[in-house]
Structure 1
Amino acid sequence: MSESVKGRVLGGGGVFFRSKDRAGLGEWYAKHFGFQVEAWGDTRGTSFSPSDMPANAFTVW
């Protein structure tokens, strides 16, 4: 696949992981997927708005 047409992850939904190293897991997601992980009390997560998605974006299950 050409570098010019390679896709990227824009969001992930309904996926939950436990980790002894929450900060490290968050850094991995930021590095590999570009997700900005936020602290919500005792949990960590990321959010996105469907209105921010490009017109040609789609969901893959």
Structure 2
Amino acid sequence: MSRVTGIGGIFIKAKNPGELQQWYKDHLGIDVQAWGGTSFRWVDSSGNPTAGTTAWMIGDGGNFAPSEAPFMVNYRVSDLFALLETLRAENCQVLEKTEESEYGKFAWVMDPEGNKIELWEPPANE
């Protein structure tokens, strides 16, 4: 069984999300959208579009709890529920909440240092 297949997103906790979003927009040219982030579309080695995106967002970090870390990484996985079963069998701290939507399937696990990790199985077309 494959586990992580890539990075689906990076989420940054900020004291002043709007100000930090503007800094990244002004100084790094990131096209920060009204929702506080952007989606980087994937390209191949020749620059041609390929399936997949990586989300990047700055917010207040309210959804990071119970972690106190200033970031959360979203990892792409190919079979979320099988991976959760394996992680539980390995005595990992898997949080009980899961979500399913048009964006895919989501679940969370805590690493040994208390960082919350988001696991994401994208929809079939991504």
Q: Name the one with the larger helix percent.
A: 1
TM-score, normalised to structure 1, is 0.46
Q: Name the one with the larger strand percent.
A: 2
